[in-house]
Amino acid sequence: MLFHVPRQPSEIRIRHLNARLAQQQQQLAQTIFDKTELRHLLKRLSREHKQRQKDGKRVFVLDFNGDMQASAVNTLREEITLVLSMARAGRDGVVIRLESPGGLVHGYGLAAAQVARLREAGFKVTICVDKVAASGGYMMACIADQIITAPFAVVGSIGVVAQMPNFHKLLQHLKVDFDVYTAGQYKRTVTMFGENSEDGKAKFEEELQQTHALFKHFVEKYRPQLNVEQVATGEHWYGEDAVKLKLVDQLQTSDAYLLSLLPTHDVYVLQSRQKPTVAEKLGLAASVALKEVLPVIEGSLQQGFAQLASKIPAFRDPNV
């Protein structure tokens, strides 16, 4: 990270999509084209390259694959900082390929704020959704100047959910007391192990409604053409219905959209990844074993974290 140094170093790979596609086209053409067709292809590629150099149009492509904690914001913020420091506001565009069913409010609030940095700096932002951008994912998407989705992508679900089990009756059956001591009337409204009062439940519901109101206001700010009250029911929509409701602007896959840009724009894909360790580079068996164990440990930790944080309101559609 540029401003937040991670424990394990990361790096950004930059790929010129035009050059990559041109190379693959030439490889295929050498196999299936005759000499005349191959010559015409090379001339067309050369003309497009010269025209792009003359026009100077550039597009930067970022990826965001969201989980419950919106942990991908750690790399997104670094990529956006790099774009802001190098790209030309008002001339260059940014495309974000976004996939997320939503998650915790504070995580997706930060992710949305990162996307807003691009808009505030004067960049045209296009967000492409091929599968799902619901709840917190849609909160990020609505910041874009243009939202493009695949025909069966899931979008919307402008709602807030919080759910948690309560083991009070089980503890009573086992004759186990669970006491909660607080300072402040609403320091703890509901709990997993204690008996939840009606007053505490009402206060917790009030907090959810406040969060939902903030969510709706945020969407109205960036998509004034959208009738928020009509769609802020927690439902999600597909394809043409999403276009009719003005949740999205266009039906198209991200691949088709980027392909349409290539003849006139230089398209650069930014991809962040953690640098391989020395053990990984050497291919040691210990590294392989560690890779197998870590997901199990990580899954257990995430499950424990989810249980502890389950009362935190989330921009998430539980049906997605």
Specify the pLDDT at position 125.
Answer: 97
The residue annotated as part of the active site, out of 35, 54, 175, 187, is 187
Amino acid symbol at 169: K
Amino acid symbol at 120: E
Kindly state whether residue 79 falls inside one of the protein's structural domains: yes
Kindly state whether residue 4 falls inside one of the protein's structural domains: no
For 128, half-sphere exposure in the C-beta direction (CA atoms, 13 angstrom radius) is 17
Q: Residue 280: which residues within 8 A CB-CB, separation 6 or more?
A: 287
Q: Residue 274: which residues within 8 A CB-CB, separation 6 or more?
A: 6, 8, 9, 10, 11
**CATH code (residue 305):** 3.90.226.10
- The packing angle between helices 73-86 and 105-120, to 10°, is 10
Kindly state whether residue 107 falls inside one of the protein's structural domains: yes
The residue annotated as part of the active site, out of 100, 135, 254, 272, is 135
Reported as a single tens digit per residue, the pLDDT across 153-167 is 999 888 888 888 888
Total domains present in the chain: 1
Whether 187 is catalytic:
yes
Instruction: Write out residues in the chain with pLDDT < 50, as ranges.
Output: 284
Specify the pLDDT at position 186.
Answer: 81
Specify the pLDDT at position 6.
Answer: 58
Kindly state whether residue 1 falls inside one of the protein's structural domains: no
Whether 221 is catalytic:
no
The tokens for 261 are 């840009």
Residue 15's domain comprises: 10-316
Parallel, antiparallel or unpaired: strands 102-104 and 314-316: antiparallel
Specify the pLDDT at position 194.
Answer: 86
Q: What does the alpha-carbon distance between residue 207 and residue 211 come to, in Å, rounded to a whole number?
A: 6
**266-274 β-sheet, strand order:** 10-16, 266-274, 58-65, 93-99, 124-129, 146-149, 250-251
Q: What does the alpha-carbon distance between residue 123 and residue 94 come to, in Å, rounded to a whole number?
A: 7
Specify the pLDDT at position 262.
Answer: 95
Collapse the DSSP code of 96 into the 3-class scheme (helix H, G, I; strand E, B; otherwise coil) and give the result: strand
